[in-house]
Amino acid sequence: MKRFYLIGFLLLMGFDTLAQISFKYAGTQALPVAASLEWVLRVFSQPWVYGAVIGYVGAFFTWMALLKHAPIGPAFAASHLEVVSVMLLSIWLFDEQLNTARVLGAIAIIAGIVCLGMAESREHVPEAEPAPAEA
Partner 1 sequence: MMSVAGSISPLVAGLWLLNIVLDTGGQLAFKAAAGDEGAGDGLARWKHMASRPWLWLGVASYVIEFLVWIAFLSLIPLSEGVLLGSINIVAIMVAGRFLFGEKLTRLRVAGILLVTLGVVIVGVGG
Interface ranges with partner 1 (CB under 8 A): 20-21, 23-24, 26-28, 30-31, 33, 39-40, 43, 49, 52, 56, 80, 82-83, 86-87, 90-91, 94, 96, 98-102, 104-116, 118-119, 122-123
Cβ at position 54, least distance to partner 1 in Å? 13
Cβ at position 96, least distance to partner 1 in Å? 5
70 in Cβ contact with 5 (< 8 Å): yes
For residue 46, report the phi and psi dihedrals to the nearest 5 degrees: -125, 155
Which CB sits closer to partner 1, 4 or 94? 94
Cβ at position 111, least distance to partner 1 in Å? 5
Which CB sits closer to partner 1, 7 or 34? 34
Give the Cβ contact number of residue 44 at 10 Å. 12
Cβ at position 114, least distance to partner 1 in Å? 8
Which CB sits closer to partner 1, 7 or 123? 123
Which CB sits closer to partner 1, 7 or 28? 28
